Amino acid sequence: MSFPPVRAYIGLGANLGDSAATLRRVLAELRETQGVTAVAASPFYRSAPVDATGPDFINAVAALDTVLPPLELLDVLQALENLHGRLRPYRNAPRTLDLDLLLHGDTQLDDERLTLPHPRMHLRAFVLLPLRDLAPGLLLQDRPIGEWIDAIQDQPIERIAGQTGD
């Protein structure tokens, strides 16, 4: 059975090692993934950890066109995290790579492995600002993305000039 192509959005983050280089590498790897036909990346952002400690994160969002069903795409993302040395010693630990499936077309899913749309993305500046760069007209929970951004002005974040995964 083939899955119809959809636009998926992936949150990318890292705060250990050369984070920007890691994000550029994983974006290139996503472009080479079978079942993924297009990948566009937002500019990179620097943000403080949310509900965690450790160095600042480098974050971005990728938009990709894919025929992979959500759980298969999640498997690809987790394999890439492992390839880049992701360890999970405790919740919200610093990490070499964090890939979150934010949206997969209009899919709504509540599975033990994956919830779609991502349940906390509308609360995180490090997701919303790069996501708006790629999809400025996007509605989240029937509200424009800009309204969500206006509600989280207390989260420090800065766009990194000249840094992108494209």
Measured distance between the N- and C-terminal CA atoms of the chain, rounded to whole angstroms: 32
Is 75 part of the annotated catalytic residue set? no
Nearest to 13 by CA among 105, 102, 106, 119: 102
Q: In the structure encoding, which two tokens stand for residue 84, read together? A: 């880049």
The single residue listed with the structure tokens 């509540």 is: 110
CA 71 to chain centre: 15
Catalytic residue (one of 24, 95, 124, 132):
95
Catalytic residue (one of 7, 25, 31, 86):
86
Cα 124 to Cα 38, 131, 143, distances in angstroms: 25, 11, 15
Q: Which amino acid is located at 46 in the chain?
A: R
Is 95 part of the annotated catalytic residue set? yes
Is 86 part of the annotated catalytic residue set? yes
Is 100 part of the annotated catalytic residue set? yes
Catalytic residue (one of 46, 98, 124, 132):
98
Catalytic residue (one of 24, 46, 100, 133):
100
Could you give the residue numbers annotated as active site? 86, 95, 98, 100
